[in-house]
Structure 1
Amino acid sequence: MTADLLVHNAYIYVDRDWEIPSGWIAIKDGCVLAVGDSSNEPEAKRRISANGRLVTPGLINCHHHMYQNLTRSFGPVTNGTLFEWLTGLYPLWAKLDADTVYLSTYVAIAELLLGGCTTSMDHMYVHPKPFLIDAQFKAANEIGYRFYATRGSMTRSVEDGGLPPASVVQSEDVILEDSVRLVEKFHDAAPGAMNRVALAPCSLFSVTERIMMESARLAEKHDLRLHTHLAEDPEEDVYCQEVYGCTPVEYFERVGWATPRSWVAHFIYPKPEEISRLAHAGVCTAQCPCSNMMIGGGSADLMGLRAQGMPVGLGCDGSASTDSASLWLEARTALLLGRYKNGPHSMSARDALDAATRGGAACLGWEEIGHLRPGACADLVIWQMSEVSLAGALSDPVEALLRCGPATAGTTIVNGVPLVENGLPNLPNLNDVLKEHMKQARRIQRLNP
């Protein structure tokens, strides 16, 4: 059989336990047809040489807030705590509409592609206008990107004892009705799908108990995944004790979320016994090392969680907290942070890459991504670095990927289609989108034209 595309002359990281020092990947109909060594290369309609560079599965972003790239590095809140940062930015985010969400999603995906990310979720929890997630799918589908939207929500405004203004929260009925609408319109559970939907109330302190419980019920009914922030900040513990009379994890369990459907973001401040309970229940975690360090709120112990049986993926988190969206940078930072906290023998580059691939796939409950075994989605990256950065790095290209650098995607392929080539995005509308994005960012930030 003739392949649609052959990537060859590559060092291939196929999966956590399979590497081919000099090999090829054959792609057909958006899937990996076969992999092999330098002998017996199959016929293909198109051939791309990696020129001896490292090829890995596309990285997976399992926690993000794409709309926040409209307020990156916003001066008045750059040095605040998490709660100070949120309360300072909520009034700006109240200006979001379908057009600005489309623009921010398009820009976010372009940035993620350049950092080697081929699948991303997005946690869209601010809804000052309707149909914002529809605008996200529009951008993702125009680009041809594998996108996992999560229907976020908030019900508790300042008037109800929460943090956000009333302009960005919604009623329980509106949230639940729109959740069902989005699932029926966009969710595709088939292998190799490009569009999926999960349910994602923002946090335990921003929605009612009914939303948490009804989201769990809808997830069971429609076979969906669940996502939220959990144990992110010590103030969350204080809030939960005052309002619910328990810890955040205990409340999470009480509302029916301690199931294999759930993955949570951050998970920095649980008690040791709580980690064990959620790991046993099948819950996964998204570590966001750059954002957590930027805000100064600590970070999850990636290898410690894995040692207790909890799958851990990586996330960029909001583009207004980490101020960038590179999964390569998150993987490198996870490696550095893990070794800094637990010693040089505690974590390798392969551990970090595994979190960025298989760990992310586990969070999203998606078996066909995060590896390059035959039958997997044809999502992969040919990495590039300057010759200066790689000078002397001869023995182990996987370690070099995260220890040397900076690295970017020379080629990013999603669903068998190159979306980045020669280090540049194949997105013909990108320049126009960037111009309009700048205009809208200035409006939202109250800056003069």
Structure 2
Amino acid sequence: MTVDLLIRDAYIYVDRDHEIADGWLAIKDRRVHSVGAEVATAPPARTILSARVQLVTPGLINAHHHMYQNLTRAYAPVTNGTLFEWLTGLYPLWADLDAESVYLSTCVAMVELLMGGCTTSMDHMYVHPKPFLIDAQFRAARDIGFRFYATRGSMTRSVKDGGLPPASVVQDEDTILADSERLVAAFHDASPGAMGRVALAPCSLFSVSERIMTESARLAEKHDLRLHTHLAEDPDEDRYCADVYGCTPTEYFERVGWATPRSWVAHYIYPSSDEIDRLAHAGVCTAQCPCSNMMIGGGAADAMGMRRRGMRVGLGCDGSASTDHGSMWLETRMALLLGRFRNGPHSMSARDALDMATRGGAACLGWEDEIGHLRPGACADLVIWKMSDIARAGALSDPVEAWLRCAPAVAGTTIVNGAILVEDGVPVMSNLAEILRDHAREARRIQRL
């Protein structure tokens, strides 16, 4: 049998506890066909790539992102603000989003993610000043060939209701619920190997009504969907929940029916130990966003501590205007550094961080059967990593540790659904210059420059 593509001469991280030195990997019909250690056992292939002893891993999975925010990166008036100051300063700018600016920002975000080794990403689009913004995101994903998991975010509380955003970016409950149903019908593909799926994602406990939380849980049960929200991200959230609901954020999360295996949450920085145990037991996953949390100074979750308690933990880039980048490699490296800084040098390895960026992200998305590993039958989503000879000089004993320690590393080849989307570190996209030109125009418009 002839396969479509054979990658040889590689150090292959197939899955946790399964690595092959000087191995090969075969792709056929957009799936991992087989892996092996002896090149003589590899099947014949139409195309052969030599990885030249580089590291090959599953594509990294971004479990929390806000792609549109790359239109306001490093926005000077809020670069040194707290989370709430940062949001208050940027919401009026995001009120000018439309389908064109969201399409362009999504294209830029997905290309940037591909260059950082990410092959599947969710996006939490919760600002809706215009209709059909998530439709524009799916169009971008199709144009690029990116595996995309949209989450239909929402806000119902504007400044006049005691919230942070202007009225122009929030929606009423019936509009949110009707559009959620529409998006699921139009774009959610539950079949194996899907390139597009939809989850429901009210922005945060302090930005939506209790009805939206409970009705989203009901719709998720009806359509067999995932649920996502921000949770326990900032001490202000604790004070808000105590004042409004008479409980902690986690207690409210449980009260509205979200403590189920359908749910994954972003950040989860300020829970009690008992609350972590309860959500872990309920099957809730979390996405740590190391760079964003450190940039805004809001603290960071103890990811390895949560893992020890049984909670599945993925990684996310978070907002492209808080992290100001879209590299999952950088997030994975930062997770390693942050974990070791917090708990000591024996607490976390590069393999732990890679597991969070692959299997952990897949668990967040409820997609562990097909993505996050390279076992035969998995989706053909993978990365051949590229490091300069200078950066890896002397790193001879452990390619996985060297991948995060001997920085920087970039995606030399990124493959999604069996297609090469980054080759020799360059995106395979003929109109990228045009996209960047138009994105710059929209960024100037939104920043009013």
TM-score (structure 1 length as normaliser): 0.99
Q: Which residues in structure 2 correspond to 1:93-132 (within 5 Å)?
A: 93-132=94-133
Give the deviation of 1:429 after TM superposition: 1.4
Q: Which residues in structure 2 correspond to 1:221-300 (within 5 Å)?
A: 221-300=222-301
Q: Which residues in structure 2 correspond to 1:358-369 (within 5 Å)?
A: 358-366=359-367, 367-369=369-371
Superimposed CA distance per residue, residues 381-410 of structure 1 (whole angstroms, 9 cap, x where no aligned partner) = 000011110000000000000011110000
Which SS does the other structure have where 2:123 is aligned?
Answer: strand
Q: Which residues in structure 2 correspond to 1:23-172 (within 5 Å)?
A: 23-38=23-38, 39-172=40-173
2:237 and 2:257 mapped to 1: Cα distance? 19
2:46 and 2:189 mapped to 1: Cα distance? 29
1:149 and 1:5 mapped to 2: Cα distance? 29
Which SS does the other structure have where 2:32 is aligned?
Answer: strand
1:58 and 1:344 mapped to 2: Cα distance? 26
Runs ≥4 residues deviating over 2 A: none
Partner of 1:394: 396
One-letter amino acid matched to 1:365: G
Superimposed CA distance per residue, residues 155-192 of structure 1 (whole angstroms, 9 cap, x where no aligned partner) = 00011111110010000000000000000000001111
Superimposed CA distance per residue, residues 27-80 of structure 1 (whole angstroms, 9 cap, x where no aligned partner) = 011100101113311111111110110000000000000000000000000000
Unaligned runs of 5+ in 1: none
Which SS does the other structure have where 2:391 is aligned?
Answer: helix
The correspondence for 1:421, drawn from 417, 420, 423, is: 423
Give the deviation of 1:111 after TM superposition: 0.2
Partner of 2:15: 15
2:102 and 2:348 mapped to 1: Cα distance? 37
TM-score (structure 2 length as normaliser): 0.99
2:378 and 2:303 mapped to 1: Cα distance? 26
Partner of 1:199: 200
The correspondence for 1:380, drawn from 359, 379, 382, is: 382
Give the deviation of 1:332 after TM superposition: 0.3
Matched, 1:175 2:183: no
One-letter amino acid matched to 1:419: L
Which SS does the other structure have where 1:99 is aligned?
Answer: helix
The correspondence for 1:370, drawn from 372, 388, 396, is: 372
1:5 and 1:190 mapped to 2: Cα distance? 24
Partner of 1:185: 186
1:107 and 1:306 mapped to 2: Cα distance? 33
The count of corresponding residues between Structure 1 and Structure 2 is 447
Partner of 2:438: 436
1:162 and 1:388 mapped to 2: Cα distance? 51
The percent identity for this pair of structures is 78
One-letter amino acid matched to 2:113: L
Which SS does the other structure have where 1:389 is aligned?
Answer: coil
Partner of 1:403: 405
1:421 and 1:362 mapped to 2: Cα distance? 28
1:41 and 1:223 mapped to 2: Cα distance? 40
One-letter amino acid matched to 1:214: E
One-letter amino acid matched to 2:88: T
1:353 and 1:191 mapped to 2: Cα distance? 24
Give the deviation of 1:423 after TM superposition: 0.5
1:429 and 1:188 mapped to 2: Cα distance? 28
Unaligned runs of 5+ in 2: none
One-letter amino acid matched to 2:224: D
